[in-house]
Amino acid sequence: MVTGEARANSLDELTELEASISPQALGEYLASCAWTRLRSAEGIAELWAPPESTTTARQIDVFLPLDQTFSDFGRRFKQALADTARMQEVDFPELADAISRVRTDVFFVRLDQTTADNTIPLGQAKDLVESLQRMVRAAATSETSPGHSHRGRRPQRVTEFLTDDLRFGHTRRGSFIVTVAARLRDDEEREESVSEGPIQVQATRYRPYGRRVMEKLARGLAATQQYAAGEDTVPDLETVQQVGVSPELVSSLIDVASAEGLRGVDLSFQWAGQEPSPDDIPETIRVSALDLPKLESVRDRLVRERPPETETLTGRIAGLERVALGGGEEGHTVVLEAEVDGRLRKVRVPLSATDYEWAIRAHQARLLFTVSGTLVKKRSWELQGNVEVDLRQLRGFLEAKTPDVT
């Protein structure tokens, strides 16, 4: 017997489902489940029949309204959702999850961690989300620009994907599980080489950018786990970049797996139904806390092999230092707090006497300071080589703050 409270909860879930799902999304879900569209009035409504294999005793066709200007649209759409849930033998939250998966690749991160009440500290959750964002950003950068150093400015396509299409999904039951969803778009294409017998030809193959990024992420994580487990030796930097392994990816994975009390991390993917699922990626990629020393070794090797190049860093001055060199001369160094490998780092930067005076003014005014040079990791981060200071923006701010006394 269904109680009044259960019925009210069900109606609330149905109302929430109606507000979050479009008629087009429901139609795509029915098609992905092998339903047949019997009739269609373009832009007005469709009639869908369940597959013959459906086990539900009473077969129900679903009338799917499309035109939301009709006065009875809400009532009819709720009925379509309720009929679909009944025929698919799922509850409303499960139906919402299934519909979203049709056009979304989902990345699950399960923390194998001892917790008294299935929670984790808020600080750890914040660090976890930031690390996962850096992880996906590394994969997107590798996909978009394979030779990128993963430092400094990223391709615009990477920034747009992280801003527009990467989403934080519903958590799952069980241990602490984080869900990261990547929406797939239809308006993206990529030319790829396709084999036709012994001949390689260029053909336009439509593959959403989000799917390409998530595949790169999955392959990069799988390869990293194999290197850490000793199943494969780490090849040269150029080779590992092709499968999506980068210093930033490995570093973010280390940050996820090194939380206090964590035994390991399980990483898995659920592929959107609208695209063929890759068949060369493990169902679950497990990284144990015992793998951390090997992961750090992989990261350090990749960092060492990364060729030095000029980096531009922008940040705030966190420290100023004058050192007597003898003979009446002084050395000038600042500590710049800037983003390196996706995290704020303190970088020591040697400056000329003139540039040091500008750094003092930037520090006093709490303004950003921009420098370029060769970034090196020793015991700490340092900028070496021909260090140049870009004073254009700083001068503009300081001049704007200086009152005109003429």
Q: How confident is the model at residue 4 (pLDDT cuts 50, 70, 90)?
A: very low
Rounded-to-integer distance, Cα 117 and Cα 272, Å: 32
C-alpha–C-alpha distance, residues 81 and 153, integer Å: 45
Question: Is residue 204 predicted with pLDDT exceeding 60?
Answer: no
Report whether pLDDT(174) > 60: no
pLDDT digits (tens, 9 = 90+) for 187-196: 555 545 555 5
Give the SS3 label for residue 92.
helix
pLDDT for the residue 2: 43
Going along the chain from its start, the domains and CATH numbers come out as: 4-101 (no CATH), 104-194+201-305 (no CATH), 310-401 (2.40.50)
Q: Which pTM value belongs to this model?
A: 0.68
Contacting residues for 252 by C-beta, under 8 A, at least 6 apart: 131, 132, 134, 135, 138, 342
Q: pLDDT per residue over 272-321, tens digit each?
A: 877 888 888 988 999 999 999 999 998 888 887 777 778 889 999 999 99
Average pLDDT of the chain, as a whole number? 84
The pLDDT confidence band at residue 45, using thresholds 50, 70 and 90, is: very high
Strand pairing category for 190-196 and 199-205: antiparallel
Indicate whether 229 pLDDT > 90.
no
Q: What is the pLDDT of residue 101?
A: 79
User: Which amino acid, one-letter code, is at 50?
Assistant: P
